[in-house]
Structure 1
Amino acid sequence: MLKTTRRALRALTPSLGRTMTRFGLGSPGAPHPTTHQTDQTGQEQADHDQISLESVLDIPVRDMSGDSTAARAIQDRGQFLARQDRWDELACDIRAADRARTVAPGGVLRAELLAYGARCDVVSAVDHVLTEGAEAQDPALLSGVMALEAVRQEHRHDPYVNLVVAQAHTDIGWAWQGAGKAATLPALHRQRCAAHFDRAAHLLEPFDAITLDSPAIAAAQCALLVRRAEPASRLADRYGDLIDLDPTNYRAMRALGAYLLPRAGGALGTLELEARRTAARTQSIWGAGGYAWVSFDAIAQDSAACNQVDVGFFIDGLHDIVAARPGQEMINLLAAYCAVTLRRDKDAGAPDSPRARIAACASWLIRDHLTELHPLIWAHAAQGFDNNARVTSPQRFAARGRADALRAIADQFRDDLDRGLRIIFTPDGPITVNA
């Protein structure tokens, strides 16, 4: 059995075109937004505008390749240990990272990266053959996951081996669903999708995340609750458990808010209640930030949710987030959210609308706290931090993020620029000099 398992796992193509998906953690690191199509004339004008802005805006640009390389090295370790059938060692690594809540460069949890690396061969192979229009009987659709199931049989009582296999089933379920809605899928796709999700839930059911002190298992269970359309109250309770297990992980709070929207089966009243509850339970870490995190993606996606948000509480939350996490990665995230994500809605409303008042926070975030530019964060912000889309050219994607950021920064210094001044960002903040 083990030789068969090894051959099946190693024969799979190690393509990593799809990143970790549907963890129920909002924006898990590196989403894959789609590529915009721009005609040549428009691209030339955009390039000209960027060159003009770069001549008057001097801001250090952070190359994120180091973070990506470090995160990829962790993922590669998970992949290597799985290929070598060193599952005891892999489970030990995931358990240690999970209990320590270790975060990799770039903000993704180390346990998530290890677990994804362990299953990425299987998931990527299925994703590839489905994208290529494989027949339902194609052996690649089952051979990899059956190899993982064989591994799981030998480690059936280990929660972290079960976690890897369950997450593989979850990812494959989403691959069968694709970008469409479950109700419009062909019958076969619906059946395969449901079967994989059911299997994932069955594998995780015996394990109590709180008893195990495991945010990773709690997150995987939350992701399945979302797919199975559980009542909003149950979803909120389970996400509450996850947040209690790791209150420093703001991605869980963002996911909770998004999944409590009416379009996901929730209700605006429940969203507001849980945002306030989360702020109370995480006050010692985030201040009012818990309210902002739960509302973060929800108000960007839903105008009704935005219109009901307590703007003062949300803005207090932004200030408290900056106080708790003053690093430039966080400042870029919040500034890009206010300057780009919230302004994507053409019906943003009057200048005193909730959306406009929160978007205006870009001013103090950029003027008082920004010292360097992280283009990829701005690029993700332009796509609403969508986890389901893809990047066809990372270079063009980052370049668009850089251009969006420069325009947003220029907007904050328009009067200075119109007077012919140049803006230089120093470690102590921006200064103006003669151009």
Structure 2
Amino acid sequence: MFRFFRAFIAPLHASLSQTAPDLCATKTALAAALPDQGQLNIPVAKLGAQDLIGRATIEHGRDLARQDRWEDLSSEMRAADDMRKVAPDGMPIADLLAFGARSDVVLAAEHALSDGKAISDYDLLGGISELEGEMLEHPDDPMIALVVALAHIDLAWAWRGTASDATLPPLHRSRCAAHFDRAAAILPACKAALPDSPLIAATSCALLAGQRKATARVADEYERLITLDPQNQRHMRAMGSHLLPRWFGSYEELELQALRNAARTQNTWGAGGYTWVQFDAIALDEEACARVDVEYFLEGIRDIVRLRPDQQMINMLSAYCAITLQNGLGLDDRADLVRTQMRETANWLIRDHLTELHPLIWAHAADGFNNSVRINSPERFAARGHRDALRAIGDLFRDELRSGKNVTFTPSGLQFSRN
């Protein structure tokens, strides 16, 4: 359970070590097995400043903290939170700033706990004590307090690590609980000061992982967060995953909350509110996949495409249907019926809506869009996504390519030609 929450609640750590690959807008041809086969040509999106905004924002937050410019940090976090500003992938800018501000403390602790030396060799409390000191110096600033609370949550996960419940050392278990408890003690004052803050509401959801009686609160906490920030699909996806029976919910509760979410967010997403709640859940759980109302799910995809037709969204939905959901093929016959329909949806998305390739999105799709995956080489990661995308897209156009047709993606739609 805890490893799952680490993946969905603390997705920022990998961002700090990433740099965007220098991909230029170029035509890429799928290698032909036979001389008379056609070629698949698709522009690859150029990654520019927008793709670097997450890393740049994290670095900016870290610089503000290092320079003791906490008031400036708080002001920028609050402004971004009030405006619901997000990076291109949907990550809230306020969240990125907050991670940057605490990253030195968190990453140092993570390194110490993974180093293999005796824990006594490291001062694991020095960094968090300094953050607590900043909170004391700014007693009426909820954003600075929130940075401290989030740091405690990150440190709880650092102590939790990847060990199973049975093998987790007692010291690690107690330190993990202590950090979660300290974050829970800090958060109420933040809520009271800024009751309409999506970042604070998201932190409340993050704290559920450390609570012993979280079951009854999961839907309520996420409903509040989604009401505050209905444009951000990340919140809905996380709620659906946390409502799986392996964590805090049941299949019946998952379906009920997906339907309720669709009704609440109708004006923003159409039926897409149902799709977003089920999005990660059915990729993670075979029974959830088998039980999903596939017609309503697909109606939601159509509404998302109608309301958000940008190429980043089209690439994500295409990769999800063509790769993410196909990863479990053969594990459950009923779920495979759903996967077959999703593959047909990928065909529709790619043929009718795709105009350019975003390799990083396709690479993430192979990992189930798990944003906590460590990426040592963004260039190799993007290259893998590029290969996966060409393989999946080429498979959809197998008949055309084998007949010798060239398949070319253009801003105005598909074009077919012969050499």
User: Which amino acid is 2:287 matched to?
Assistant: A
- Offset of 1:350 from its aligned partner? 6.6
Mapped to 2, the partners of 1:301 and 1:386 lie a distance apart of 11
2:374 paired residue among 369, 390, 404:
390
Mapped to 1, the partners of 2:253 and 2:161 lie a distance apart of 29
- Offset of 1:158 from its aligned partner? 1.3
Aligned residues: 400
| Residue segments in structure 2 that go unaligned for 5+ positions in a row | 17-28
1:151 is the counterpart of 2:159:
no
Mapped to 1, the partners of 2:327 and 2:212 lie a distance apart of 29
Mapped to 1, the partners of 2:233 and 2:80 lie a distance apart of 17
Question: Which residue number in structure 2 is paired with residue 7 of structure 1?
Answer: none
1:363 is the counterpart of 2:354:
no
Mapped to 2, the partners of 1:350 and 1:73 lie a distance apart of 44
- Offset of 1:424 from its aligned partner? 0.7
1:375 is the counterpart of 2:359:
yes
Normalized against structure 2, the TM-score is what?
Answer: 0.90
Question: Which residue number in structure 2 is paired with residue 405 of structure 1?
Answer: 389
Question: Which residue number in structure 2 is paired with residue 216 of structure 1?
Answer: 199
- Could you tell me whether the CA contact under 8 Å between 1:24 and 1:226 is conserved in 2? no
Which is further off, 122-131 or 22-31? 22-31
- Offset of 1:171 from its aligned partner? 0.9
Question: Which residue number in structure 2 is paired with residue 172 of structure 1?
Answer: 155
- Could you tell me whether the CA contact under 8 Å between 2:145 and 2:186 is conserved in 1? yes
- Could you tell me whether the CA contact under 8 Å between 2:262 and 2:274 is conserved in 1? yes
Question: Which residue number in structure 2 is paired with residue 5 of structure 1?
Answer: none
Mapped to 2, the partners of 1:60 and 1:108 lie a distance apart of 26
1:316 is the counterpart of 2:310:
no
User: Which amino acid is 2:206 matched to?
Assistant: A
Q: CA RMSD in A?
A: 2.4
Question: Which residue number in structure 2 is paired with residue 354 of structure 1?
Answer: 338
User: Which amino acid is 1:262 matched to?
Assistant: P
Question: Which residue number in structure 1 is paired with residue 410 of structure 2?
Answer: 426
Q: Deviations over 1:330-388 (max 9, x none)?
A: 00110000000001013253797123212321011100110011111111110111233
1:128 is the counterpart of 2:97:
no
Mapped to 1, the partners of 2:59 and 2:137 lie a distance apart of 23
2:215 paired residue among 202, 223, 232:
232
Mapped to 1, the partners of 2:65 and 2:367 lie a distance apart of 33
- Alignment CA distance shift 1:299-1:324 (3 Å): same
Matches within 5 A, 1:277-316: 277-316=260-299
- Could you tell me whether the CA contact under 8 Å between 2:359 and 2:383 is conserved in 1? yes
Matches within 5 A, 1:77-96: 77-96=60-79
Question: Which residue number in structure 2 is paired with residue 255 of structure 1?
Answer: 238
Q: Deviations over 1:41-66 (max 9, x none)?
A: xxxxxxxx954489811111123353
Mapped to 2, the partners of 1:175 and 1:317 lie a distance apart of 37
- Offset of 1:181 from its aligned partner? 3.3
Question: Stretches of 4+ moved more than 6 A in 1?
Answer: 26-32
- Offset of 1:22 from its aligned partner? 4.3
User: Which amino acid is 1:420 matched to?
Assistant: G
Matches within 5 A, 1:94-133: 94-133=77-116
- Could you tell me whether the CA contact under 8 Å between 1:26 and 1:254 is conserved in 2? no
- Offset of 1:323 from its aligned partner? 1.0
- Could you tell me whether the CA contact under 8 Å between 1:24 and 1:219 is conserved in 2? no
> Percent of pairs identical after alignment?
52
| Partner SS for 2:246 | helix
Mapped to 2, the partners of 1:55 and 1:156 lie a distance apart of 67
| Partner SS for 2:124 | helix
Normalized against structure 1, the TM-score is what?
Answer: 0.86
User: Which amino acid is 2:299 matched to?
Assistant: D
